[in-house]
């Protein structure tokens, strides 16, 4: 008896049952085939558009299991995908017919309050990290949805409410344990394998499987100031222009993002606004709420809001505020741009973007980043776009598979209409699977170095189920 698994060339390979049993016997975790316990759980990810059946699942419990799975895939020439939190929009964590290395059971988070550091396993979510750090009065700057996995977020960048104050998630990475394509376990840090450390901070899962992250943490007071200020979407043009003027002078403790969508049935919104188009400011002041009241006053003074629910909040609680709108099981497709500014022509296009929105949960958000993040040199990490700028995500979300074409077409149309004002880069964690042509441009001047590091640690491109950086060897000078 054999098991059919796809090769690196996407052809079926017959792997013997003895080889599969040897893998099963050699790990602490489990090996699951279609129909076995754990198989469906491992292959099911956040984005319901991703419905792929791997040929074999390895559910790892530690670094030794990861080494065994990587060696199994390499020695048999098999396609392998890596699942951590399973939240990535592109769905690269699952590949049809491949070996699926599932890290979601590796969820330990260990905080050292004395050194203000945390050791985090790759299956942990942002919610897992927040609970542990908050218990010590500390915080790691991450994203905005508690069900997001820490591994993919960090390897692709990681921005959120604290980016302007404390930098990106990858800027707070001190070291990582990495299993490379040859099955070896390496430590990557500023002093150990520094080229690998540089590459994994923004280069995604191209260079190995991270089995542990060491992060620097920051003090976080018990309460911050956070919430929403909601306006009619008819005021979008005026509000975008006012936001453009205010944003550059906001203190780094304050993040103000814009969200445009149809209003969900939130309890603080008048019922007559449910289902109607709205423009919202999402606000978070990571500091003394009294100081936050002063900092956010100019934003609160704009127009006549339908609702203003900005108030004191526990930061870990604010991190879960958008979870109900981002729950797993829905179909999702995203498109993203970076903007240096918000010129009038771009604002005019954004202000009409909801006119033909195809589903009630479609939205456009714009996040202002900069501050601490922008004080890092563009070549200091693989993530290159360090200028203070705005990140747009056209987030299309729907339930009915029959709406796939219409929803993707809307996102692509908004993306195309706003493209003339883009910086040409994008946040790679927001890029869908069909944007393979954008990968090189995203990395800009860092691409060549990434390709060389890839050739050093993964010359055969074993780790290719990702936003792939292909290996390119350094040309030796002629003697």
The CATH number covering residue 256 comes to: 3.40.462.20
The Cβ of residue 398 has, within 10 Å, a number of other Cβ atoms equal to 23
278 part of a folded domain: yes
463 part of a folded domain: no
154 part of a folded domain: yes
Average pLDDT over residues 165-169: 98
Examine the pLDDT at 477 and tell me if it is beyond 90: no
pLDDT tens column, 307-326: 999 999 999 999 999 999 89
Say yes or no: 32 and 165 in one domain. no
Average pLDDT over residues 374-396: 96
Q: What are phi and psi of 435, to 5 degrees?
A: -105, 40
Range of the domain at 53: 2-102
- Confidence at residue 476, expressed as pLDDT on a 0 to 100 scale: 55
273 part of a folded domain: yes
Query: Which domain-ending residue is among 102, 123, 138?
Result: 102
Say yes or no: 51 and 190 in one domain. no
pLDDT tens column, 230-246: 999 999 999 999 999 99
Say yes or no: 89 and 119 in one domain. no
pLDDT tens column, 10-41: 999 999 999 999 999 999 999 999 999 999 99
- Confidence at residue 78, expressed as pLDDT on a 0 to 100 scale: 98
Say yes or no: 79 and 168 in one domain. no
Say yes or no: 314 and 345 in one domain. yes
Residues above pLDDT 70, as percent of the chain: 99
Residues above pLDDT 90, as percent of the chain: 96
pLDDT tens column, 259-283: 999 999 999 999 999 999 999 999 9
Q: Which of 321, 340, 384 is nearest to 168 (CA)?
A: 384
Average pLDDT over residues 120-134: 98
Average pLDDT over residues 53-62: 98
Q: Residue 222: pLDDT band by 50, 70, 90 thresholds?
A: confident
- Confidence at residue 475, expressed as pLDDT on a 0 to 100 scale: 59
Say yes or no: 174 and 248 in one domain. no
Number of domains in the chain: 3
Average pLDDT over residues 63-92: 97
465 part of a folded domain: no
Say yes or no: 231 and 170 in one domain. no
422 part of a folded domain: yes
User: How far is the C-alpha of 75 from the C-alpha of 99, rounded, in Å?
Assistant: 13
Average pLDDT over residues 133-161: 97
Least confident of 280-284, 305-309, 434-438: 434-438
User: How far is the C-alpha of 370 from the C-alpha of 376, rounded, in Å?
Assistant: 10
164 part of a folded domain: yes
Average pLDDT over residues 55-82: 98
Say yes or no: 126 and 228 in one domain. no
Say yes or no: 50 and 93 in one domain. yes
Say yes or no: 318 and 302 in one domain. yes
Q: Residue 473: pLDDT band by 50, 70, 90 thresholds?
A: confident
- Confidence at residue 221, expressed as pLDDT on a 0 to 100 scale: 84
Say yes or no: 424 and 285 in one domain. yes
């Amino acid at each position: 008896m054999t098991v059919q698994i796809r090769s690196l060339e996407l052809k079926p390979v017959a792997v013997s049952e003895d080889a599969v049993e040897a893998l099963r016997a050699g790990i602490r975790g489990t090996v699951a085939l279609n129909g076995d316990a754990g198989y469906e759980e491992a292959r099911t990810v956040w984005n319901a558009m991703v419905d792929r059946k791997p040929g074999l699942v390895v559910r790892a419990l530690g670094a030794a299991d990861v080494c065994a799975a990587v060696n199994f895939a390499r020695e048999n020439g098999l396609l392998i995908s890596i699942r951590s939190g399973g939240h990535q929009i592109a769905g690269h964590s699952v590949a049809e017919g491949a070996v699926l290395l599932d890290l979601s059971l590796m969820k330990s988070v260990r905080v050292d309050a004395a050194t203000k550091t945390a050791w985090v396993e790759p299956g942990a979510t942002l919610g897992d990290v927040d609970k542990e750090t908050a218990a010590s009065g500390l915080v790691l700057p991450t994203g905005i949805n508690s069900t997001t996995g820490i591994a993919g977020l960090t390897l692709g960048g990681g921005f959120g409410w604290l980016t302007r104050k404390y930098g990106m998630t990858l800027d707070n990475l001190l070291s990582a344990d990495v299993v490379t394509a040859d099955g070896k376990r390496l430590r990557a840090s500023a002093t150990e394998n520094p080229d690998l450390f540089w590459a994994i901070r923004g280069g995604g899962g191209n260079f190995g499987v991270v089995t542990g992250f060491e992060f620097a943490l920051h003090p976080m007071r018990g309460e911050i100031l956070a919430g929403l200020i909601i306006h009619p979407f008819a005021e979008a043009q005026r509000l975008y222009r006012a936001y453009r003027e205010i944003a550059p002078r906001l203190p780094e403790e304050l993040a103000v993002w814009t969200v445009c969508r149809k209003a969900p049935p939130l309890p603080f919104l008048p019922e007559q606004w449910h289902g109607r188009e709205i423009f919202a400011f999402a606000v978070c002041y990571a500091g003394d709420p009294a100081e936050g009241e002063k900092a956010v006053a100019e934003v609160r003074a704009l127009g006549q809001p339908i609702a203003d629910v900005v108030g004191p909040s526990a930061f870990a609680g604010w991190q879960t505020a958008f979870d109900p709108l981002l729950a797993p099981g829905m179909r999702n497709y995203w498109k993203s741009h970076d903007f240096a500014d918000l010129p009038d022509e771009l604002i005019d296009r954004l202000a009409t973007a909801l006119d033909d929105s195809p589903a009630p949960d479609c939205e456009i958000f714009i996040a202002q980043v900069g501050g601490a993040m922008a004080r890092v040199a563009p070549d200091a990490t693989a993530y290159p776009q360090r200028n203070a700028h705005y990140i747009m995500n056209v987030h299309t979300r729907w339930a009915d598979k029959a709406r796939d074409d219409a929803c993707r077409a809307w996102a692509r149309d908004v993306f195309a209409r706003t493209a003339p004002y883009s910086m040409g880069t994008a946040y790679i964690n927001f890029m869908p699977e069909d944007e393979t042509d954008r990968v090189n441009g995203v990395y800009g001047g860092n691409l060549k170095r990434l390709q060389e590091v890839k050739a050093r640690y993964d010359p055969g491109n074993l780790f290719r189920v990702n936003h792939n950086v292909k290996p390119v060897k350094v040309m030796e000078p002629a003697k």
